[in-house]
């Protein structure tokens, strides 16, 4: 865990659906809010279909926007759905990931969220290189924090060793340039 401008920024390896003591987790959704595979599928399996049902009421949600839903059986208050692609299982781009992360962070501010966990947005089903995805996510977080935020704790959750290393390197890069 490191501190960046008063925010706890932590990289962890594990299952985002098992996290506790957080206000929200972020789902790298598709605009249709269909929660089939990847992180979305894991969230639906762990938290219940009620999350997808709630999310689908908002569809379509364009890339660059985000919506919050119930967290079902998960031990957090919200699932923040931030589309990184228009349809399920599409490839994504760094621009779409940046837009999704910014939308999720802005919604955190609107909701007064104090703690949030991000998975590797775009690094799974979206097909981005984990290093590239991690750099985009961390860069977006740094810019958001610099503009003022309600967040006090941000977790970056890696599902494998490569993403974990990529998140760690991206965070270390921020600390060396500030």
- Give mean pLDDT in consecutive 10-residue pieces for the chain, a chain of 178 residues: 92 97 98 96 98 98 98 98 96 98 98 98 96 98 94 97 98 76
CATH code of the domain covering residue 45: 3.40.220.10
| Among candidate residues 166, 154, 138, 156, the one with its CA nearest the CA of residue 6 | 154
| Number of compact structural domains in the chain | 1
Question: Distance between alpha carbon 142 and the CA centroid of its chain, in Å?
Answer: 14
pLDDT at 174: 80
Q: Which domain holds residue 110?
A: 2-177
pLDDT at 177: 60
pLDDT at 175: 72
pLDDT at 76: 98
Cα separation, 174 vs 125, in Å, equals: 26
């Amino acid at each position: 865990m490191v501190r960046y401008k008063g925010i706890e920024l932590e990289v962890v390896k594990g299952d985002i659906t098992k996290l506790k003591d957080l206000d929200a987790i972020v789902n790298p959704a598709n605009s249709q809010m269909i929660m089939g595979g990847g992180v979305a599928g894991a969230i639906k399996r762990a938290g219940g279909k009620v999350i997808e049902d709630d999310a689908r009421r908002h569809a379509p949600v364009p890339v660059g926007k985000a919506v919050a839903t119930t967290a079902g059986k998960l031990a957090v208050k919200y699932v923040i759905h931030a589309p990184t692609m228009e349809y399920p299982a599409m490839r994504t781009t760094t621009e779409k990931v940046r837009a999704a992360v910014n939308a999720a962070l802005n919604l955190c501010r609107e909701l007064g969220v104090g703690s949030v966990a991000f998975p590797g947005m775009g690094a799974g089903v979206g097909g981005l290189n984990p290093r590239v995805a991690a750099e985009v996510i961390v860069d977006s977080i740094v810019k958001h924090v610099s503009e003022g935020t309600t967040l006090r704790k941000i977790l970056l959750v890696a599902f494998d060793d490569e993403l974990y290393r990529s998140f760690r390197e991206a965070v270390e890069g921020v600390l060396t340039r500030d």
